[in-house]
Amino acid sequence: MDILKQKRITDNGNDYFRHCVDYLFKEKVESGEKLVETKGYGVSDIDPKLAYDQMYAVKEYYGKTGDNPVMHFIVSYDQNVQDTNTACKFTEQIADYFSGDYQMITAVHKENQGGSQYHGHIIMNSVNLNDGKLYHSGITELKQLAMHVHEVTGNYCKTEIEK
């Protein structure tokens, strides 16, 4: 079973936004944990400051700097995902669901979390690139994303919302 977690922070949103972006570029320091890959979609994937500024520039363009700045999804893959190539391929295919509409940074971490060996983070600008609309982060949208995760991995996908 895969677990799809959605984090949506509205208090001190900009601090959380910056922290999230930095986190996805940071090497893991704990033993047995590893940053496998960081990828950018519509943002730089080698420099967290540039990535943050590029997301903020889109918010400014549409005049949406004051709302919930970022969506954070975490997919913990089933323990049948045992290699980095599969984890990276799955994360890329899951991110395809939003690419072209939203800027994103994805990161794959290798870390044992209750049997799950890999998890993918997706940090997404809440402002749509094409129309400036804010992403609607309801349960319906999360379930639709979970269906997409299921189609990609073939595993049942459980959803969780963390506030």
Binding site for another protein (CB under 8 A): 39-47, 50, 53-54, 57-58, 60-63, 65-66, 103, 129-133
- Nearer to another protein by Cβ, of 23 and 62: the residue is 62
d(CA 130, CA 141): 19
Tokens 């639709």 sit at which residue?
Answer: 144
- Nearer to another protein by Cβ, of 17 and 77: the residue is 17
Helix axes 48-61, 13-25, angle to 10 degrees: 140
Nearest Cα to Cα of residue 98 among 162, 41, 38, 155: 41
CB 8 to another protein: min, Å: 17
CB 132 to another protein: min, Å: 7
How many C-beta atoms surround the C-beta of residue 112 within 10 A?
11
CB 66 to another protein: min, Å: 4
CB 115 to another protein: min, Å: 32
CB 45 to another protein: min, Å: 5
- Nearer to another protein by Cβ, of 123 and 146: the residue is 123
How many C-beta atoms surround the C-beta of residue 10 within 10 A?
10
> Which residues make beta-bridge pairs with 112?
none
- Nearer to another protein by Cβ, of 29 and 46: the residue is 46
Q: What are phi and psi of 157, to 5 degrees?
A: -120, 115
- Nearer to another protein by Cβ, of 43 and 108: the residue is 43
Q: Are 71 and 126 in contact (CB under 8 A)?
A: yes
Start-to-end CA span in the chain (Å): 23
